[in-house]
């Protein structure tokens, strides 16, 4: 009985080994086919730069159309949200600009800090001006 079970186990092990070799061959063929696809680089993955550039371009289009379709009544809340987003951007830009050494990340971090600062302070100036428009003007001195 034990010899029969051992023979069956050995037969199953041989079949498993043959199956594993066949799967490894299929994986090699799939990797070779993926490497020949256009836009593929070594390893079969797209470059992250193209992906990130695509996301940036799409975000620009979405932001442009969202901002231009906002009614004037919602302008102030939109500015508040924009300032909140800019605060997150400025934290990331400060982290990038504060890296040791000087290179492209630090340069882009500095540019991001500058643009985010312009956006934040410009938002405060515009909000202050809009709030000043709604203040009651003092009555003219009665004679």
**Helical pair 104-134 and 75-97, crossing angle rounded to 10 deg:** 160
Tell me what the mean pLDDT of segment 12-26 comes to. 79
Contact 84, 54 (CB under 8 A): no
C-alpha neighbours within 13 Å on the C-beta side of residue 35:
8
Q: Bigger pLDDT: 141 or 42?
A: 141
Contact 72, 109 (CB under 8 A): no
Token couple for 47:
């470059």
**What percent of the chain stands above pLDDT 70?**
90
Tell me what the mean pLDDT of segment 28-54 comes to. 72
Q: Long-range pairs for 66-74 at CB < 8 Å and ≥24 separation?
A: none
Convert the pLDDT of each residue in 43-100 to its tens digit.
Answer: 555 678 888 899 999 998 888 887 777 777 777 777 777 777 778 888 888 888 887 7
Distance CA 9, CA 111 (A): 67
pTM of whole model > 0.75?
Answer: no
Contact 123, 133 (CB under 8 A): no
What is the number of other CB atoms lying within 10 angstroms of the CB of residue 53? 11
Residue 39 — very low, low, confident or very high, per pLDDT cuts 50/70/90?
low
């Amino acid at each position: 009985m034990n010899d029969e079970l051992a023979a069956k186990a050995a037969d199953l092990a041989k079949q498993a080994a043959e199956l594993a070799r066949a799967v490894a061959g299929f994986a090699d063929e799939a990797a070779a086919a993926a490497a020949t696809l256009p836009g593929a680089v070594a390893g079969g993955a797209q470059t992250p730069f193209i992906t990130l550039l695509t996301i940036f371009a799409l975000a620009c289009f979405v932001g442009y159309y969202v901002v231009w379709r906002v009614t004037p009544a919602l302008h102030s809340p939109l500015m508040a949200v924009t300032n909140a987003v800019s605060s997150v951007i400025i934290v990331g830009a400060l982290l990038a600009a504060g890296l040791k050494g000087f290179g492209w990340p630090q340069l882009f971090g500095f540019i991001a800090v500058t643009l985010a600062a312009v956006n934040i302070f410009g938002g405060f100036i515009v909000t202050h001006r809009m709030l000043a428009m709604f203040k009651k003007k003092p009555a003219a001195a009665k004679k």
